């Protein structure tokens, strides 16, 4: 895979995470909704892929933890 793929994946992750926060701020989503947690999970996983490729360990681990928190949130919504 090319560097461009990993950069695009990172930007998609950024957009998903920021969108989740933006939608909660505008009351389009609530924090305890599955949609909010799914946006965060998908975004964090994209960021994990990007961070791993770029060998950015702090960003990698931040998003691994962010993903785990999103999974916990999803479990709690069911």
For the chain, the structural domain boundaries read 3-77
pLDDT of residue 28: 97
CA angle in degrees (0–180, nearest 5) for 34-38-44: 145
Answer whether residue 68 shows pLDDT above 90.
yes
**For all residues of the chain together, what is the average pLDDT?**
97
pTM of the model: 0.94
> Among 8, 73, 5, 62, which residue's Cα sits nearest to residue 39?
73
Answer whether residue 29 shows pLDDT above 90.
yes
Residue 38's pLDDT band, with cuts at 50, 70 and 90, is: very high
pLDDT of residue 1: 78
Query: What region, left, alpha or beta, does residue 2 occupy, with left being phi > 0 and alpha being psi -120 to 50 degrees?
Result: beta
| Dihedral sign, Cα of residue 34, residue 36, residue 37, residue 41 | positive
């Amino acid at each position: 895979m090319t560097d461009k793929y990993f950069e695009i994946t990172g930007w998609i992750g950024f957009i998903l995470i920021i969108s989740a926060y933006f939608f909660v701020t505008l009351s389009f989503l609530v924090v305890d909704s599955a949609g909010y947690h799914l946006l965060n999970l998908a975004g964090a996983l994209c960021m994990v892929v990007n961070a791993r490729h770029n060998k950015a360990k702090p960003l990698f681990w931040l998003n691994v933890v962010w993903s785990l928190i999103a999974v916990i949130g999803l479990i709690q919504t069911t």
